Structure 1
Amino acid sequence: MTSRRGFLAGLMAASLAPQASWASAGSPAFLSAGRDAGGAFLLAGLTETGEILFRHPLPGRGHAAAAHPRRPEAVAFARRPGRFADVIDCRSGAAIARLEPPAGHHFYGHGIFSPDGSRLFTTENHYETARGVIGVWDAADGYRRIGAFSSGGIGPHDMALPRGAPGLVVANGGIETHPDSGRAKLNLPSMRPNLSYLSFEGGIQEQMELPRELHLNSIRHLAVRADGAVGFAMQWQGDPGEQVPTAGLHRPGNAPRLMAEEDARVLNMNGYGGSVAFSADGTRIGVTSPRGGVLQVMDTVSGALLREYRMRDVCGLAPSAGGFTASTGSGQVFAISDAGQHRLHCADLAWDNHLIPLH
């Protein structure tokens, strides 16, 4: 039998044992979903220069991912209207859990952990009622689903952790969809996209809507700056020839500020903001368009469009020390700076929509 002294020594040793961290998975800088040359789908961890540290198979096409803030665990989300979210141990590739939404729901491709990593939040569609839902999962108990609440609108897509107050900021795109109709958009005349600031229990703290004339500009993707400003990327559902902004800034308590809206070059985006990110110093905001094959970078003070970079099928975007890092559907990863674009790496696969930073 174990002695009391031995038992206590074991407890102390366990408490002092190093916990698994992202360093034990190679300290990846980014996560991205992709598809390899054989057509298989995967989640990969990338270095700062775009080299692949690890890759793990997915049962279908992925969209975005969430990284646990403490443990080397990632959740890979299916592309809308998918019904899987795979939780992966990024050290070994072991499957920790496969999350499925309740009957009548599907995932929207994004999720995020609470700051302490105890809960995972997922954007979902309750498609019979066209109601946006945030699912809540207990990350400390095998990712058991423990609740859900309204997203504050229709079609929640991306969400982020705002600065200054605990809770979530959700991009409700405003578009009603149903799996029986594939990816068809069912309510364009009555769209009302918004940003909803929610408590972790689902209470609405604030909502921001675009001007009525831009109600067809679906708010889709988010970035949060250190001072609390929220950057958002939009996807225009109206006449493709109209000159409409694809990026904006919002500070809680204020009206939104739309970027470069008077600059004719916004037409080069083809009305589609694919990903959005602030530069590391917060002075610039970048938005990609795979449809336009372009990355546009704007000044966050003046709103002016500063630079435009041409890259075929560019979509993934994240901040980096010199500006931005971007990924493309042809497997390329680029460093973006005022000096131009520089290819860092090219893999024999297609990167999907998002480049998720781990720092």
Structure 2
Amino acid sequence: MTTRRAFLSTMLAAGLAPRLGWADVGCPDFLAAARLADGSHALFGMGADGSERFAIPLPGRGHAAAAHPTRPEAVAFARRPGSFALISDCASGTLLQSLQAPAGRHFYGHGCFSGDGALLFTTENDFEHGTGRIGIWAREENYRRIGEFSSGGIGPHDILRLPGQDVLVVANGGIRTHPDHGREKLNLDEMSPSLTYLTPSGALLDRVMLPDDLRQNSIRHLAAREDGLVAFAMQWQGEPGLPLPLLGLHRRGGSLRLGSAPEPEQIAMAGYVGSIAFNGSAGRIALTSPRGGRAHLFDDDGDFLGAMRRPDICGIGATRDGFVATDGLGGISILGAHLMPQAALPRAWDNHLVTI
């Protein structure tokens, strides 16, 4: 891989390289950030079997990333609240651009591209006004910021584009924060999480609110099936130890469905889901809880199928036959009928596996 990367870098420098795609960096299936044994940080390209395709150094702890739909470019976001996002050429390993959140803003650790890859959308906090914003960056103009619009709620965390559609889905966690208070949650008694559907220009197409007794269930992470069914994961901010649902299912224009495990397993999740993935071909949804050391599997009707245990499990991504998961102890596991450890590496994987 080092020889191939050096070759591509030479071709790029000479202006001779053809238009590159993800196949030119080994066809990775996922992006994942990690802390290495020496304390440094990097963004990795991974195969569905956990094999490493490339590694790009990061200046600090990463959270999630966004993959360009066709070009081998990745945007790595700092752990929230963070002010940097780094765009890297995964073929050459070089930094293309460093994005800084505007004054009075910070990134929430997630972003996504438009279907044609021309625009990058980032979730942001306007912390002086306590409102959620979506930043717009133009790739063909060296990722110049060209606009922004309301996320339709407070504390937008995750964002995705519905498959095959020019529709953005935003997980508004409902939690107000301010950098002067670190990660302190400032409005727990007045939370109002929401799931919003927006056009790329910011027009609100649909908004889903949770029942009032679940208003402290922060909507955090998203996954979507090819036909537009959205699965979202929640993190409970209220009284601990309650067996409350942490999975939601929704289709634009439809009704909300919630999914729960049997009470002992629901309590074991500690009110916290770190990541979610949707395997549409298998009709399965996977939720992970690093606090509970568990992965929960549901079908696409929101019915519980089973639990698997793994310490500090968090990153989760769909494969052809099931799921692959990462954990903070360096583990990579395959989740099918059972959890099968595949590797234990000298690194601490961060929260997410981002599908390319």
TM interval, shorter chain, is: over 0.9
Unaligned runs of 5+ in 1: 1-15
Residue 346 of structure 1, CA deviation:
2.0
Partner of 1:313: 312
CA distance in 1, matches of 2:166, 2:117: 13
CA distance in 2, matches of 1:75, 1:17: 22
Q: Structure 1 residues 246-255 or 184-193, which shifts more?
A: 246-255
Partner of 1:345: 343
CA distance in 1, matches of 2:280, 2:37: 33
CA distance in 1, matches of 2:290, 2:17: 46
Partner of 1:328: 327
CA distance in 2, matches of 1:157, 1:304: 26
Partner of 1:237: 237
Residue 304 of structure 1, CA deviation:
2.3
Distance 1:282 1:155, change over 3 A: farther
Partner of 1:40: 40
Distance 1:330 1:215, change over 3 A: same
Maintained 8 Å contact 1:282/1:300: no
Which amino acid letter does the alignment assign opposite residue 26 of structure 2? G
Maintained 8 Å contact 1:149/1:201: yes
SS of residue matched to 1:335: strand
CA distance in 1, matches of 2:307, 2:314: 14
CA distance in 2, matches of 1:90, 1:96: 10
Partner of 1:175: 175
Which amino acid letter does the alignment assign opposite residue 60 of structure 1? G
Partner of 2:247: 247
User: What whole-Å deviation, never above 9, does each CA across 1:37-58 have from its counterpart, x for those lacking one?
Assistant: 1111111111221122211111
Q: Structure 1 residues 144-153 or 248-257, which shifts more?
A: 248-257
Partner of 1:112: 112
Residue 330 of structure 1, CA deviation:
0.8
CA distance in 2, matches of 1:257, 1:19: 44
Give structure 1 regions of 4+ aligned residues with deviation exceeding 6 angstroms: none
Maintained 8 Å contact 1:64/1:110: yes
Which amino acid letter does the alignment assign opposite residue 342 of structure 1? M
Matched ranges for 1:272-291 at <5 A: 272-291=272-291
CA distance in 2, matches of 1:114, 1:341: 34
Maintained 8 Å contact 1:280/1:321: no
Partner of 1:3: none
Maintained 8 Å contact 1:226/1:282: no
Maintained 8 Å contact 1:42/1:58: yes
CA distance in 1, matches of 2:154, 2:139: 26
CA distance in 2, matches of 1:213, 1:190: 12
SS of residue matched to 1:140: helix
CA distance in 2, matches of 1:130, 1:169: 20
Partner of 1:89: 89
Distance 1:45 1:191, change over 3 A: same
CA distance in 2, matches of 1:166, 1:29: 23
Residue 24 of structure 1, CA deviation:
1.1
Matched ranges for 1:27-176 at <5 A: 27-163=27-163, 165-176=165-176
RMSD of equivalent CA atoms: 1.4
Residue 167 of structure 1, CA deviation:
2.0
Unaligned runs of 5+ in 2: 1-15
CA distance in 1, matches of 2:269, 2:261: 12
User: What whole-Å deviation, never above 9, does each CA across 1:180-233 have from its counterpart, x for those lacking one?
Assistant: 100000000110000010010001010000000000000000001112110000
User: What whole-Å deviation, never above 9, does each CA across 1:221-278 have from its counterpart, x for those lacking one?
Assistant: 0001112110000000011111101111011112210002664421111000111111
User: What whole-Å deviation, never above 9, does each CA across 1:106-145 have from its counterpart, x for those lacking one?
Assistant: 0000000001000000000010001100000001111111
Which amino acid letter does the alignment assign opposite residue 353 of structure 2? L
Residue 163 of structure 1, CA deviation:
4.3
TM-score computed with the length of structure 1 as normaliser: 0.92
Structure with bigger gyration radius: 1
Which amino acid letter does the alignment assign opposite residue 291 of structure 1? R
SS of residue matched to 2:60: coil
TM-score computed with the length of structure 2 as normaliser: 0.93
Which amino acid letter does the alignment assign opposite residue 334 of structure 1? S
Which amino acid letter does the alignment assign opposite residue 56 of structure 2? H
Matched ranges for 1:166-205 at <5 A: 166-205=166-205
Maintained 8 Å contact 1:225/1:282: no
Partner of 2:355: 357
